[in-house]
Structure 1
Amino acid sequence: MRLRIHRGTREIGGTCIELESEGARILLDLGLPLNAKDLASTPLPEVEGLSVPSPSLLGIVLSHGHRDHWGLVPKANPTIPLVMGQATESIIRAAADFVPDAVALNASHHLEHRRPIQLGPFTIVPRLVDHSGFDAYAMEISSGGKRVFYSGDLRAHGRKGKLFDALIGDPPRDIDLMLMEGSSLGRLADDATFPSEADLEEAFVTRFEQTVGFALVACSAQNIDRVVTIYRAAKRTGRSLVIDAYAAEVLKATGRDSIPQPAPGWSNLAVYIPQRQRVQLKAKGIAALVDGYRGFRIWPGQLAGSAPRSVMLLRGWMMSDLAQANALSGARVFWSQWDGYLGEGQAGAALKADCERRGIPFETVHTSGHAGPSDLKRLAAAVAAKRLIPIHTFERLRFPDLFSNVELANDGEWIDV
């Protein structure tokens, strides 16, 4: 078996790994680079069979539902089988009705925790992991007596941190080569740790108690851990969580009754459909989906009165709706996603500037979706691979100082396992 990393040896995002054995090949992830201008102008990696069919390319296996790991799939030959978690497929399909350039992907096989999948000569054993992307997997791939372990994206400080403990408590054995992410390197001191989702819950409780009007939280609805954190903090402070149709459909798509959603048995939850979304749903011919929110709807005329007892999942373009409803008196905005999106030209920067113009306090309350250096050390030590190659990192040169048996690779070069 051999492999090559088409993208990821020197950057975060755009991940794509090709494995070859006995004349057959598979891809692990096919991501859109973070610096991509758009999908149309971003070329596919030079992989035989991605554009023109090739019988030797057996499938694309997606570790999770973040676009930097699957975003180029819509450009690939649609006959290539796709493998991903069932909830990942459902969430991507639910989001496709709301997100520009999104595509509803169709999986031929689903990843399940520790249930092997056979693709030609490759045996893939998925391991469910803790990550800000729901239904995320690390993977052990074996063929021809060789074994590769791909960490995917993972962490230990989320609401599923026990999965990380389970992984290092019973790691994959006899790994010849490990591909390990290093997103946090350069963002965090080697001995520092990220706040946990439980820590964030306490921080939100404090902030919500200090907020006179609407508590507006700018976070991704697909960060299910974070939505749960915000919901719990809202409930503890006597507030209801207000979500839009996009968030409602994503939460329902998890397929988990334990996740907050507009369904029987859930309290402290309301669904508001902004004007832009009403137009969008009608244009797509799916306006009827709002019928599923009966009993949960909150209307524009109710926003101002309910604001002191509410938390809303916010996107920047919703501010005009709230202003028109006179619902911004005493409001505070909490940024709860990667601070890179606050950079010049990004949507977060526009929201921050809008808050400044309106005199609305703006504060970051966030934690990373990726493992810190100390947890990566625990993982590398537990797996004890014969060789460890950095991936999904801007700081590959830090790896030899932190881990054993490190081998630096370059994009596009074949590596014998």
Structure 2
Amino acid sequence: MRLRIHRGTREIGGTCIELESEGARILLDLGLPLTASDLASTPLPNVDGLSTVSASLLGIVLSHGHRDHWGLVPKVNPAVPLIMGKATESIIRAAADFVPDAVALNARHYLEHRKPIQIGPFTVTPRLVDHSGFDAYAMEITSGGKRVFYSGDLRAHGRKRKLFGALISDPPRNIDLMLMEGSSLGRLSDDETFPSEEDLEETFVTRFEQTEGIALVACSAQNIDRVVTIYRAAKRAGRSLIIDAYAAEVLKATGRDSIPQPAPGWSNLAVYIPQRQRVQLKMKGIAALVDGYRGFRIWSEQLAERASRSVMLFRGWMMKDLDRANALAGARVIWSQWEGYLTEGAGATLKSECMDRGIAFESIHTSGHASPADLKRLAEAIAPNRLIPIHTFERERFPSLFKNVSLIDDGEWIEI
């Protein structure tokens, strides 16, 4: 077996790994680079069978639903089989009606925790991991007596941290080559740790109690852990969580009754459909989906009266609705995403608008990726014969932190 990383040896995002054995090939992830301006102008990596037919390309295995791991799939020949988690497929499909350039993907096979899948000469064994992306997997790939372990994206401080503990207490054995993400290197010193989702919950409770008006939290609806954190904090602070149709559909798509959603048994939750979204749903011919929110709907004329008792999952363009509803008195905006998004684009515009309006603005967030200390625990537990950095801007730091490190370049074939 041999492999090459098409993107990821020197950057975060755009991940794509090609494995070859006995004349057959599979890809692990096919992401849109974070630096890409748009999908149309971003070329596919140089892999036979992505845009033309190649019988040797047996499939693309997607580790999770973040676009830097699947975003180039819409450009691929639809005959190429896709393999992903079932909830990943459902969430991507739910988001497709709301997110620009998004599409629904159809899986040929589903990843399930510790259930091996045979793809030609490759045996892929997924391991469910803790990550800000729901239904995320690390993978062990075996073929020809060789073993590769791909970490995907993972962490140890989320609401599913027990999965990380289970991985290091019962790791895959006899790994010849490990591909390990290093997103946190350069963002965090070696002895620092990220706050947990429980830490964030406590901070959110305090901020919600201190806020006179509506608390607006700008976070991704697909960060299910964070939505759960915000819901729990809102309930503890005596507030209801307001979501839009996009968030409602994503939460339903998890297929988990334990996740907050507009369904029986979930109090302290309401659904508000902003004007822009109402127009969008009508244009797409799917306005009827709001019928499923009966008993949970909140209307514009109710926003001001309920503001001091509400938390809203929020995006900057919703400000117009809240302004028209006179619901911004005493409001606070909390940014709960990567702070890099505040330097330009919609994030920078939102921060500037809050400053102009005198609306309190702050960031409450934690990473979706493992700290350096947790990465060291992972590498020591798996003890691979060879460790290759991926999904990192700081590959030069790997040799000082981990054993048996090899630095390779994008496009370079590696024999295992």
* TM over 0.5, shorter chain: yes
Q: Which structure 2 residues correspond to residues 96-107 of structure 1 after superposition, within 5 A?
A: 96-107=96-107
Between the aligned partners of 2:118 and 2:339, the Cα distance in structure 1 is 40
Between the aligned partners of 1:4 and 1:166, the Cα distance in structure 2 is 29
Q: Structure 2 length normalisation: TM-score? A: 1.00
Partner of 2:65: 65
Between the aligned partners of 1:354 and 1:88, the Cα distance in structure 2 is 34
Q: Which structure 2 residues correspond to residues 287-302 of structure 1 after superposition, within 5 A?
A: 287-302=287-302
Between the aligned partners of 1:409 and 1:213, the Cα distance in structure 2 is 53
Partner of 2:150: 150
Between the aligned partners of 2:129 and 2:408, the Cα distance in structure 1 is 25
Identity across matched positions, percent: 84
Between the aligned partners of 2:313 and 2:60, the Cα distance in structure 1 is 33
Deviation (angstroms), 1:136: 0.0
Q: Which structure 2 residues correspond to residues 269-284 of structure 1 after superposition, within 5 A?
A: 269-284=269-284
Write the letter of the residue equivalent to 1:377: K
Residues 243-291 of structure 1, C-alpha deviation per residue, up to 9 Å, x if partnerless?
A: 0000000000000000000000100000000000000000000000000
Deviation (angstroms), 1:117: 0.2
Q: How many residues in Structure 1 have an aligned counterpart in Structure 2?
A: 416
Q: Structure 1 length normalisation: TM-score? A: 1.00
Runs of 4+ aligned residues of structure 1 deviating over 3 Å after TM superposition are none
Between the aligned partners of 2:187 and 2:400, the Cα distance in structure 1 is 16
Between the aligned partners of 1:58 and 1:273, the Cα distance in structure 2 is 42
Partner of 2:391: 392
Between the aligned partners of 2:409 and 2:207, the Cα distance in structure 1 is 45
Partner of 2:199: 199
Partner of 1:401: 400
Q: Which runs of 5+ in 1 are unaligned?
A: none
Q: Which structure 2 residues correspond to residues 235-274 of structure 1 after superposition, within 5 A?
A: 235-274=235-274
Residues 94-152 of structure 1, C-alpha deviation per residue, up to 9 Å, x if partnerless?
A: 00000001000000000000000000000000000000000000000000000000000
Residues 217-237 of structure 1, C-alpha deviation per residue, up to 9 Å, x if partnerless?
A: 000000000000000000000
Write the letter of the residue equivalent to 1:349: A
Between the aligned partners of 1:15 and 1:340, the Cα distance in structure 2 is 19
Residues 174-216 of structure 1, C-alpha deviation per residue, up to 9 Å, x if partnerless?
A: 0000000000000000010000000000000010010000000
Q: Secondary structure at the match of 2:193?
A: coil
Q: Which runs of 5+ in 2 are unaligned?
A: none
Q: Secondary structure at the match of 2:175?
A: coil
Between the aligned partners of 1:289 and 1:356, the Cα distance in structure 2 is 36
Q: Which structure 2 residues correspond to residues 15-414 of structure 1 after superposition, within 5 A?
A: 15-344=15-344, 346-414=345-413
Between the aligned partners of 1:401 and 1:323, the Cα distance in structure 2 is 52
Q: Secondary structure at the match of 1:29?
A: strand
Between the aligned partners of 1:191 and 1:356, the Cα distance in structure 2 is 35
Between the aligned partners of 1:83 and 1:228, the Cα distance in structure 2 is 27
Partner of 1:415: 414
Deviation (angstroms), 1:358: 1.0
Deviation (angstroms), 1:347: 1.2
Between the aligned partners of 1:287 and 1:115, the Cα distance in structure 2 is 38
